[in-house]
Amino acid sequence: MSTQDILSRAHAKTEVKLYSDALRILKPLRKQLAITQNLDLLQTFADCYMETNKIEKAYELLVRLAELDPQGEGTGNDKFYILGQIVGGVQGLNYITQGIQNMSVNKETLTEAEVEKIVSGLLTMIDIWMTDLCMEENAEAQCEELVNKAMEFSNQQSPEVWSVLGSIRISQQRFNEAGECFLNAWKYFQVKKQYVESLLEEGKMDHDQYMELVQPLLNCSKMCIEMGLYDISLDILNSTKDIDEDNLEALYLEGFTNYLKAKVIQLALEIQTPEQFYEFNTHIEESKLQADDKKIEDLVYDAKVAFSMLVKLGENVDSDEIVSELVAGSKSILLNELGGPIDDKELMEIRKGAEVIGDEQIELTAE
């Protein structure tokens, strides 16, 4: 069987995301990787390695592809963005810059997908400056320049860009401006979600792409919590449930937001500005909530529901470090400040009342 025939069979598998199957088909061609200049062969192997979490193997091939196809004319520019994320630092910035420059040659004819890729690359560069290169004296100036470019490319309508700008403003302790950024982020997330849902209904997008909205929404919710935008945070989390109803992090944030709202009310705190809320959030453990306070009973109940649901769901999923932390944090607040979890029977009744898709149910009872 010829190289092209094998590649065609492998492509048929990658199109339906069966990357391990594709690698088995590609196995006879593996020995060619060290010497080949066949861009399609290198790219197909690299894609399969990335999707099966063989990052080191993918990295070696992506570096080769970047050398053989520096303008992205043969295999596109995704390799530069991926390499930038893998290596980080100055080298990572250089890779991403190469990808952006390649795509920006004909700026006026960029497609929507290409603009999103460029914006994503700019945001990755900001993340590198805020982490790997944060000690460089020009880090803040570089972040400002890059976020302004991202705003320009996105016509100031990207929720992700507004979220990143808000994070930058927090790092600068410009809290009121940060709060405005997150309000704008939520505004444009709603627009984006509606657009993605329309594409999903038309069969122009798969559900995995829809799920990609979840983490950016959760990140925005966290930032809103820091700024005291509790109602906005809850709106975001309700929107997240439309996409992934059983997301454990979303349940934790829902419980935590209601818990914080209850504390502010019970303590009769005069907190009006994002700056004041940011200060409050650094001292939330200094006073315990009195769960029997009638003024906050609805908030306490909503917090208990979210935390209790998380604990039960967490008992029936493959545990990892993050899940363990979410479950432990929920149990701590439930037992120490909210009077304990809601019982299983009541949780099941709440769950049944919330069902919207046929007879779909989840197992809430601990094994």
Residue 80 belongs to a domain = no
List CB contacts of 135: < 8 A, sequence separation 6 or more.
Answer: none
CA-to-CA distance for 233 and 250, rounded, in angstroms? 10
Residue 138 belongs to a domain = no
Q: Consecutive 10-residue runs of the chain (367 residues): their mean pLDDT?
A: 95 96 97 94 98 97 98 96 98 98 91 95 98 97 98 97 97 93 98 95 89 97 93 97 95 97 85 77 78 94 96 85 93 95 90 53 42
Residue 209 belongs to a domain = no
Check: CB of residue 118 under 8 Å from CB of residue 103.
Answer: yes
Residue 356 belongs to a domain = yes
- Look up tokens 């990295």; give the residue: 59
Residue 312 belongs to a domain = yes
C-alpha dist (Å) from residue 5 to 8, 11, 17, 43, 49 = 5, 10, 19, 16, 20
Query: What pLDDT score was predicted for residue 360?
Result: 43
Query: What pLDDT score was predicted for residue 1?
Result: 84
Residue 206 belongs to a domain = no
pTM here is 0.88
C-alpha dist (Å) from residue 139 to 118, 130, 166, 167, 259 = 20, 7, 16, 14, 36
List CB contacts of 344: < 8 A, sequence separation 6 or more.
Answer: 312, 364, 365
Check: CB of residue 317 under 8 Å from CB of residue 291.
Answer: no
CA-to-CA distance for 43 and 7, rounded, in angstroms? 11
Residue 305 belongs to a domain = yes
CA-to-CA distance for 103 and 79, rounded, in angstroms? 13
Query: What pLDDT score was predicted for residue 362?
Result: 42
Query: What pLDDT score was predicted for residue 285?
Result: 74
Query: What pLDDT score was predicted for residue 354?
Result: 57
Tokens of 210: 């829809």
CA-to-CA distance for 97 and 303, rounded, in angstroms? 45
Residue 61 belongs to a domain = no
Nearest to 244 by CA among 215, 268, 219, 286: 215
Query: What pLDDT score was predicted for residue 356?
Result: 35
Query: What pLDDT score was predicted for residue 279?
Result: 77
Range of the domain at 333: 245-367
* Number of independent structural domains in the chain: 1
